[in-house]
């Protein structure tokens, strides 16, 4: 609160008028991205401001539940649908292939020459990004599910007998953002068999992922974040699957809950068959039938 010239403001003074002024102030605060020579500024997204409003409401209600204050929150955050900007950019098949090439056969920036050692180092540095791309393309899942995926038996996420990938690890309760069980494309199976533990060995690939669009000359301005792969595959698949069979796409995306019989039938090509038929990966490239 000190940032806007208010210190020690009681919770019962935080009302809709205050939130109105807070939104106006927040919109003027630039977001700093990167450090040093790579530092850039961008406008703060309305969704980021509303996330702060939701946090304020949660804190006030928590204090009320503990009887630390006399009344609950009197503010109403705007729903995500009113403030979110869903990126419209989608990658083509060729651009997705370029992403894999970027990881598998790194090339120096224009005007530079790399030694063999530099190329090897660059490939090693992009290994986690490559793993992220592979799982993202194969399962269409959200970035957080990609990072959580592991072949460790204790997590029960990979069943080689049924070729099933359970994106929701054992003991984790499903949330509104459902993590489905899907069939692994045959090209991914050898990679899964060679993996012991987390497929993506680092906690976050955001930094190497953000470096990739710059080199591949892809759009920025929040259009090419980590969800780009999921959105692009869904867009490409929908036109191939067709609207009458798009339920398969919804299940892959976690937007529709599969029934018990669907899970039993995972190895059957009739279940998610169209969704998996058109999009599969090899260790190096994406293939479309």
Q: Please indicate, yes or no, whether residues 75 and 117 belong to a single structural domain of this protein.
A: no
Identify whether 226 is part of a domain: yes
Q: Please indicate, yes or no, whether residues 100 and 75 belong to a single structural domain of this protein.
A: no
Identify whether 234 is part of a domain: yes
Q: Please indicate, yes or no, whether residues 169 and 203 belong to a single structural domain of this protein.
A: yes
Q: Please indicate, yes or no, whether residues 53 and 186 belong to a single structural domain of this protein.
A: no
Report residue 103's pLDDT band, with 50, 70 and 90 as the boundaries.
Answer: very high
Higher pLDDT pick, 214 / 37: 214
DSSP tally for the chain: helices H, then strands E? 13, 7
Residue-wise pLDDT for 127-183, tens only, equals: 999 999 999 999 999 999 999 999 999 999 999 988 889 999 998 998 888 998 888
75: containing domain: 10-83
- The whole-chain average pLDDT of the chain stands at 84
Phi and psi for 257 in degrees, rounded to 5?
-85, 130
Last residue of a domain, one of 56, 83, 110: 83
Q: Please indicate, yes or no, whether residues 175 and 265 belong to a single structural domain of this protein.
A: yes
Cα→Cα distances 45→31, 90, 193, 195, Å: 9, 20, 42, 38
Q: What is the pTM of this model?
A: 0.71
Q: Please indicate, yes or no, whether residues 246 and 112 belong to a single structural domain of this protein.
A: yes
Last residue of a domain, one of 83, 112, 147: 83
Helix (H, G, I), strand (E, B) or coil at 280: strand
Q: Please indicate, yes or no, whether residues 77 and 98 belong to a single structural domain of this protein.
A: no
Q: Please indicate, yes or no, whether residues 54 and 108 belong to a single structural domain of this protein.
A: no
Q: Please indicate, yes or no, whether residues 71 and 153 belong to a single structural domain of this protein.
A: no
Q: Please indicate, yes or no, whether residues 179 and 41 belong to a single structural domain of this protein.
A: no
Identify whether 37 is part of a domain: yes
Q: Rounded to the nearest 10 degrees, what angle do helices 206-216 and 93-104 cross at?
A: 110
- CATH number of the domain at 169, please: 1.10.443
Q: Quote the number of domains for the chain.
A: 2
Identify whether 2 is part of a domain: no
Q: Please indicate, yes or no, whether residues 36 and 103 belong to a single structural domain of this protein.
A: no
Identify whether 198 is part of a domain: yes
Q: Please indicate, yes or no, whether residues 114 and 205 belong to a single structural domain of this protein.
A: yes
């Amino acid at each position: 609160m000190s940032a806007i010239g208010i210190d020690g403001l009681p919770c019962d003074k935080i009302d809709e008028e205050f939130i109105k002024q807070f939104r106006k102030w927040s919109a003027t605060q630039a977001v700093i991205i990167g450090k040093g020579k790579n530092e850039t500024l961008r406008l703060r997204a309305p969704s980021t401001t509303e996330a702060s409003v939701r946090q304020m409401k949660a804190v006030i209600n928590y204090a009320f539940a503990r009887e630390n204050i006399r009344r609950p929150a009197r503010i109403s955050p705007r729903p995500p649908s009113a403030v979110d900007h869903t990126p419209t950019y989608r990658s083509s098949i060729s651009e997705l292939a370029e992403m894999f090439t970027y990881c598998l056969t790194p090339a120096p920036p224009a005007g530079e020459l790399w030694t063999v050692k530099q190329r090897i180092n660059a490939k090693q540095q992009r290994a986690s990004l490559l793993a992220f791309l592979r799982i993202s393309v194969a399962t269409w899942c959200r970035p957080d599910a990609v990072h959580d995926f592991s072949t460790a038996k204790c997590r029960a996420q990979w069943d080689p007998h049924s070729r099933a990938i359970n994106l929701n690890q054992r003991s984790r309760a499903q949330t509104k953002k459902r993590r489905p069980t899907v069939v692994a494309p045959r090209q991914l199976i050898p990679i899964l068999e060679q993996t012991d533990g987390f497929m993506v060995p680092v906690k976050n690939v955001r930094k190497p992922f953000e470096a990739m669009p710059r080199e591949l000359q892809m759009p920025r301005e929040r259009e090419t974040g980590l969800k780009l792969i999921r959105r692009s595959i869904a867009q490409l698949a929908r036109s191939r699957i067709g609207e009458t069979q798009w339920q398969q796409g919804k299940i892959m995306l976690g937007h529709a809950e599969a029934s018990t019989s669907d899970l039993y039938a995972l190895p059957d090509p009739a279940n998610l068959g169209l969704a998996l038929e058109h999009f599969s990966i090899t260790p190096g490239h994406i293939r479309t039938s």
